[in-house]
Amino acid sequence: MKRREFITATVAGTTGLSLFPCLLQGCRDSHDPLHDFGLITNVVQHMIREDHRGTMALLAEMDYKYLEFGGTWGEDPAALKEYMLGIGLIPLAGGTSMAPLQGDGLREAVDECLAMGKKYLVCYWPWMNSAENLTWDDVKFAVDESNRIGEICRDNGLRLALHNHHQEFGKLDDRVIYDYILAETDPELVTMEIDLYWAHKGGADITTYFEKYPGRFELVHVKDSYDSPDLSSFACVGSGILDFQHLFSYRDVAGFKHLIVEHDDPENELACARTSIQHLKTLEF
């Protein structure tokens, strides 16, 4: 059976279709943003390219409530937004790296978010280069641009979120780059999408940042790691070594608003999405 046929058949055989009558405003009002989990679509990247509506229906049936994604898979944004809200799946965030946010690219990214009713524009890579040998000029440019872009986002009803990788936890002149970014970006204009996996790979005790910079971490990429020094040791949530129960205990001081499941490229996309949310639902926080 082809993947598209499998998705269609699976959707037809689940209770997910019963979600369609959900009234749009009613769906929103019934949500608990912290305990209703989201997912970024790279977890199901192959499936969603082949059948985005069918894949979304499966995610809604698993009880995901928010989706982080880019593009519309060739569909009219208004039609896709209506479909998503109809099955109880809220478009939350999406974005790109710093380079495409220069010039007219920023207006295009803002308009794309607005067309889908997203709340956050995410800068996934704040660097204009490979970040292999970052300089203070690189860091200061990223901070200045983040504040500038954040102001434009605010003026358009959006919120800019900066996503981290492990490079941000390196040092320049004995100062951790992430400390500088948090200290020099305006909290009114810029929030963080903290990626727990990459913070771990960067050697950070991320809870110290939660305490030092309270309220700065509205979005959380809930991403697990195997016990390996390999930078690509991605694990489905609950099958690795990260202690999410402990990390989530900092939710109030850190300012968590949305917990978003991530895995860069799982072997079994559907199973990874399902077991990840099942694990999160077992946690008490």
Under the banding of pLDDT at 50, 70 and 90, the label for residue 3 is low
- The mean pLDDT of the chain is 92
pLDDT at 21: 41
- For 81-93, write each residue's pLDDT tens digit: 999 999 999 999 9
Alpha-helix residue ranges (DSSP H) falling in the chain: 3-12, 24-29, 45-50, 52-61, 77-86, 104-116, 136-155, 177-184, 196-201, 206-212, 244-248, 251-254, 269-282
**Structural domain for 27, as ranges:** 3-282
- For 152-177, write each residue's pLDDT tens digit: 999 999 999 999 999 999 999 999 99
Average pLDDT value for residue range 184-208: 98
Number of domains composing the chain: 1
Among positive and negative, which fits the CA dihedral 100, 156, 70, 220? positive
Query: CB under 8 Å to 208, separation ≥6 — which residues?
Result: none
Q: Which CATH number goes with the domain that contains 101?
A: 3.20.20.150
pLDDT at 241: 98
User: For residues 238 and 15, is the Cβ–Cβ distance under 8 A?
Assistant: no
pLDDT at 33: 72
Total residue length of the chain: 285
> Is the pLDDT at 11 greater than 80, yes or no?
no
User: For residues 120 and 160, is the Cβ–Cβ distance under 8 A?
Assistant: yes
pLDDT at 122: 98
